[in-house]
Each structure stands twice: as C-alpha cells, then as structure tokens.
Chains A and B, each alone.
Chain A
C-alpha cells in the first residue's frame, strides 16, 4: 500500500538576526490512509515547523523551505505539496488537508458566528450553497458533539468554552471530508478532563471517517492513546519511528528512553525522575553529529563524527520500527557496519 503522504528529506531554515536557524534537518515520514501518526518532540525539535511547512503555514520569510519533497496522493491524483503554486495550495489546504491549532480562539474570527465560519469553509471548497451548506454545518456541529447545534450555529466564538471552540475547529477541519488532518498540539491549552473529551472525539471521528491524522504533541501520554505510529523528533531530525506498541515497550533511541523515564508514573513510587542533563542543541549551525550526543549516556566517538541515519530495526512481527542511533541497543554494542537503513534514507541516497 502506498502512503497517502510521503515526505522525504525536508529541510527548513529560519533567517534571524542571530543567524540561520536550522529548524528542520532532513525529516522523512510515511503517513498511511486512515492512520494516526503521532509526532512527538520538545519545543525546538522542529515538530510543528516541519508539519506546518508542508501546508506552507510557516511565515516566509523568515522561514525558508530549503529542500525536500512531500508526495500527497489523494484519490484524485499524485502531487508534490512543496512545488504547488499558491492557488493550488489554497485549494488543498482546508479542503483535502484540514488543520487544527493549539489555540482555537486565535483561529476563529470573533466577529462572525460559529455557523458562518463553518459554512464559509464549506462554500469555499464545495458546490454546497446556502441552505445546503447550512445543513451540513449543523450536521458537523452535531458530529463533533456540540449540544443543540441549531441554536449554537448562531453563537459567536466568545460564547463557547475552550473545549467547545476546539470542537468547532475540528468541525471546520473535517468539513470537506479531508484525506488528512494535521492537529498541532490541539489539547495543550485544555484541562485534562477536557483533553480526554477531545482525544475521545478525534479517535471516533478518524475511525468513522477514515481520515489520516498527524497529531503533533509534546506529551508521550496523550499520543499513546490516539496514535498508530509515532515519530519522535529531536533537534530538527527524526530520531525514532515505529508502531506505538513496539515503540513504548521497546524504545531503541536514547532520547525516547529518557523521555519515557522523565515522566512521573501515576502508579509507581520513584525516588528520582530520569534526569536528561543538559539542554537541546543550538540550531544555529548545520548538524554534523548526532544531535543528542551531548546528553546521551551511550554516546561514543562515532556519534561525534557523523549524524546517524534511520536504521531499520523492524521486528519479525511485521510492525515498523526505525532508530537513528549509532549504538545498537538490542545487542548493547556499537552498530555493526552494513546494518539496513530505513527505506526513507535509502531513497535519499539515490536521489
């Protein structure tokens, strides 16, 4: 099966007065139809920038997509998102690819009713007009679990709570039956009890409607309950990728292992949390080594000299798993030469 979205070797830079920030350094990923891909990383890991630059939602300038490709294969064709013109991109954004942001208040127009804003999105991308579009908008409000949708259709954003506004954003994102929805930390600004509601809703919608979801988050807990595959990012690169069951049970990149250990457990007493000492790398110089090397307990000379590719470490069970680490944590020794590299990186080599 071909992935519906295939990103290869994406590089994004930002030009600032302090110098060039190498925000994304060769990100590749596969997203399959109907699956949810969790993208996890800390601030500055490049998780949002890489996903938002696919839709060209980063400010340019100072942002700059330096290189890479993003093959998008909806039912209607096969195109490269990064080489689309402005108008073609506008036809895809909000139509074939929906998006949800962290702060719903700033993405909703305070002067328009909720209903008008959903309808606008429908009318822009489909042939539905007036009463028909209105019916669809009300149906969407109902679908995202807003009680009394007929009445709420006429309300303004400020009359909604944070959780309800996020539901409206979801309604807008799915209004045109998109193939993909990109959700950028959609629950970070919400309380845990409301977060649980939104996660529940997204799980249901993506299963019912067969939408592929890219869920960007800093929280390994949230994505555990929603993602099929997980992409862990650090310093603008992908450090580990795999099926969630595989990845949480057998993490094979030191950063993922550290991140899992740094989270306090709700059910176990620990003396001290895992301390990943140090701070994330400065992104002002292009990466020449493993970005995690300075903080890694397993690091050795190779890590200092070259940036590791994503090694394919898929188990026999058929689920996918890849780790960008020079140290083989399965055998507890430096990786032997000739280890298979994940298909993504192979493809780069031939390009």
Chain B
C-alpha cells in the first residue's frame, strides 16, 4: 500500500512564499530595514561620521541644523554647546547603545537559558529554589542597584552591561522554564525517552532547538528596553562617563539649552525612539515568522 506523494498543485513556490511572508507585515519590514541600517552605521561609525565626535570648536557652538538659516551642510544636524558635530556624536552614540543592548541580552539570556533549563527539566526543589531566587531578583529596583554600583565602582559601560544582564536574567529564566515544561510534556520528548535516549540527547537535541524561537523574540524586546533604559541612566548621569558620546549623555547635555537650541536634545531623543521602535517592530515580526501556526493563516 502506498499513498500519494504530497500534493503541491496550486501551492506557491518556497521563494514566493517567503517573499509573501516578509511583505505581509509592512511595519515589520520597516523595522527590519531600520534596525539593519542602525547596525551598519554603528559598525562603520569611523567611516560614515563626517567629524571626530569629541572634537570641540567653541566658535561654532550651538550651530543649528543645515536647513536652518544659520546652519551649514558642514554640520548637517548642527553642533552642541561645545561645538561638537551632532551627527557624528549620534553615530558614535549608537555604538554605546547597541553594545549595552546586545551584551546585556547575551548575558541575561545565557543565565536565563541555563537556569531556566535546569529549573524546568530537573523540577522539584531545584525548580522551587531557582524560581524563588529569580523572583527575589525581580523585586530589587534596578535603579537602586545602578546608583549603588555607580557610587562604589564608578561609572563604566561594563557595570551598566552587567547590571542589565543580571537584572533581566529572571525574565529569561521564567520564559525558558515555561517553554521547557511545555516541550518536556510533548510527544516527541516522551517518544525519545521511550526510545532510551540519554538526558543530554533530550536536552540538546529536542529541547534546546525548540527554545531558540521564543527566546529570540523576547531577546529583541528586551534589547530595545535596555537601549531605552541605558539612555535614561545616561540622562541621570549614571551610565558611561561624560566624555564618551552616548545618547543619554547627549540628552542630558542638551537639556539646559532646550529652549533656544532644541536640536541638541531633540536628535539624540529621536535616535532613541527610532531604535526602540525598530526593535519592537522587529520583535513582532520575528514572533509571527517563528510561529508556525500564525505562519499558516492570515494574509
């Protein structure tokens, strides 16, 4: 007895399908392109920035953007209170933001993945203890932690990254644990046990690959959050030292000139908004793309 081969008539080709899938969510596509652009700019900062971001020139301080009657195309987005080129500073600032977001998420998700898998897979008392600690961590206000660390260890990029990494880990622990519990009950894990598979095989061949999708989505949203909060800390003077161009620092510096030279604060603000927005759109897009159920229906 044989059954027919898969009936493919009338079906779109894989390439058509992929294009349709991508083009379906226009906002998501916009997010992907915007985010890609920001990354390229950050990586190529020394080549695309028109000026040295820390080069001061008090003669041209607070020069308005180019389209203003007092502006010039030499400094398209104008200059800040010390005459530094705004565009160059924003380009270099993106490096700080993306570094914090990326490394913060890497640390948080690594811790989360490890502890979440242990909690979900081992279960019992181990699970209770890990989840208890994770909840305890969630209860600590991160701002307080930042202030204390900044006061004791000084302001540094590394400290900010570590704090974000650790304070966000509990979220990843939770999500990983939930997914592990779900996957562990699935038929294919049960079947693997029934086939005599080792624990390692079940964890790395069945559970881990199925965790990537949901974690990637959460990581995108969290990264956006971290970039946002880093700027907030910078604004409060708790992030990187003032010498390094970061969007938060720029925002703080522009605050006192907001009435007469609004661009000094406005452009870094706009950069923060754009980055956050692009990542949130990207996250939505990824979630839809990685969920086979949504992928099938809805045009």
Contacts and interface: CB of A to CB of B under 8 A. Distances in A.
Do A and B touch directly, given a CB cutoff of 8 Å in the complex?
yes
Contacts of A277: 1-3
Given A17-B17, A17-B295, A62-B298, A278 B3 contact: yes
Contacts of B70: none
B14 to A, nearest CB: 10
A132 interface: no
Contacts of B11: 18-19, 282, 284
Given A17-B20, A18-B12, A281 B296 contact: no
B299 A281 contact: no
A162 interface: no
Contacts of A17: 12, 17, 20-21, 24, 295-296, 299
A200 B17 CA distance: 48
Nearest to A275: B1
Contacts of B8: 282
Contacts of B24: 17
Nearest to A19: B12
Contacts, number: 49
Contacts of B297: 14, 16, 62
A18 B4 contact: no
B293 to A, nearest CB: 12
Contacts of A285: 9-10
B10 A62 contact: no
A285 B8 CA distance: 10
Contacts of B69: none
A282 B9 contact: yes
Given A18-B12, A18-B17, A279 B299 contact: no
Contacts of A16: 296-299
User: Chain A: interface secondary structure?
Assistant: loop
A294 to B, nearest CB: 7
A221 interface: no
Interface residues of B, number: 19
Interface string A18-31: 11100000000000
User: Chain B: interface secondary structure?
Assistant: loop
A278 B5 CA distance: 9
Given A61-B298, A61-B299, A62-B299, A19 B1 contact: no
B289 to A, nearest CB: 11
B52 to A, nearest CB: 48
B7 A282 contact: yes
A62 B20 CA distance: 14
A310 B298 CA distance: 33
A280 to B, nearest CB: 9
B269 to A, nearest CB: 37
A284 B9 contact: yes
Interface in A119-152: none
Contacts of B299: 15-17, 61-62
Contacts of B9: 282, 284-285
B228 to A, nearest CB: 32
A18 B297 CA distance: 9
Nearest to B20: A17
A80 B299 CA distance: 28
Interface in B1-41: 1-4, 7-12, 17, 20-21, 24
B296 A19 contact: no
A285 B10 CA distance: 5
A36 B281 CA distance: 50
Contacts of A275: 1
A294 B10 contact: no
22 contacts: A14-B297, A16-B297, A17-B21, A17-B24, A17-B296, A17-B299, A18-B12, A18-B17, A18-B296, A19-B10, A61-B299, A62-B297, A275-B1, A277-B2, A278-B3, A279-B3, A279-B4, A282-B7, A282-B9, A282-B10, A284-B9, A284-B11
Interface of B: 1-4, 7-12, 17, 20-21, 24, 295-299
Q: Sorted from nearest, which 7 A-B pairs have the closest CB atoms?
A: A284-B10, A285-B10, A15-B299, A282-B7, A17-B20, A62-B299, A19-B12
